[in-house]
């Protein structure tokens, strides 16, 4: 018969079991991995940008204007991801230009939007005091 040494269960715990903590971290990581794409899609505007091989990258700007194609009607204008109209743009841009004279506007226009509508938006931005602007494009896949 095998004997065992008496154990002292009243002493301090000398080892920490990390298995439950690792399980918790892995579960949280899976939850974040599943939730992240859903959160990013909620704020994006579906825009089919035109393709350009010689496109350059531009730094982020506090003024991003998006013209998205919306069914059979006129294209929808978004300012920094929020639905807007030209009247709101006329109010917003002068306050931004007053804070930053070097303000750059980034214009995202769906390639299905009428060219004249894009030029009207560029003209509006320039007439309100923004001297720099960038037209967003996508690099074609090879």
Q: Domain 63-135 falls in which CATH fold? A: Nucleotidyltransferase; domain 5 (3.30.420)
Strand residue runs (E) in 69-125 = 76-79, 82-84, 104-109
State residue 28's pLDDT score: 95
**Rounded to an integer, what distance in angstroms lies between the CA atom of residue 111 and that of residue 66?**
12
State residue 27's pLDDT score: 95
State mean pLDDT over 43-59.
66
**HSE of 25 in the Cβ direction (CA atoms, 13 Å)?**
5
Instruction: Supply the pTM of this predicted model.
Output: 0.61
State mean pLDDT over 125-133.
88
Domain ranges of the chain: 63-135
Taking only the tens place, the pLDDT of each residue in 94-120 is 998 999 888 888 888 888 888 888 889
**Rounded to an integer, what distance in angstroms lies between the CA atom of residue 70 and that of residue 139?**
24
> Which two tokens mark 89?
């743009």
């Amino acid at each position: 018969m095998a004997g065992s040494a008496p154990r002292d269960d009243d002493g301090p715990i000398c080892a920490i079991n990390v298995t439950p903590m690792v399980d918790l971290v892995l579960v949280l990581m899976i939850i974040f991995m599943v939730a992240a794409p859903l959160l990013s899609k909620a704020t994006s505007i579906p825009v089919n940008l035109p393709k350009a091989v010689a496109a350059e990258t531009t730094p982020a700007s506090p003024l991003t204007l998006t013209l998205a194609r919306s069914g059979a009607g006129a294209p929808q204008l978004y300012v920094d991801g929020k639905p807007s109209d030209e009247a709101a743009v006329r109010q917003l841009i002068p306050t931004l230009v007053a804070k930053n004279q070097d303000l750059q506007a980034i214009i995202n226009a769906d390639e299905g939007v009428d060219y004249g509508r894009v030029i009207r938006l560029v003209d509006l931005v320039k007439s309100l005091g923004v001297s720099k602007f960038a037209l967003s494009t996508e690099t074609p896949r090879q």
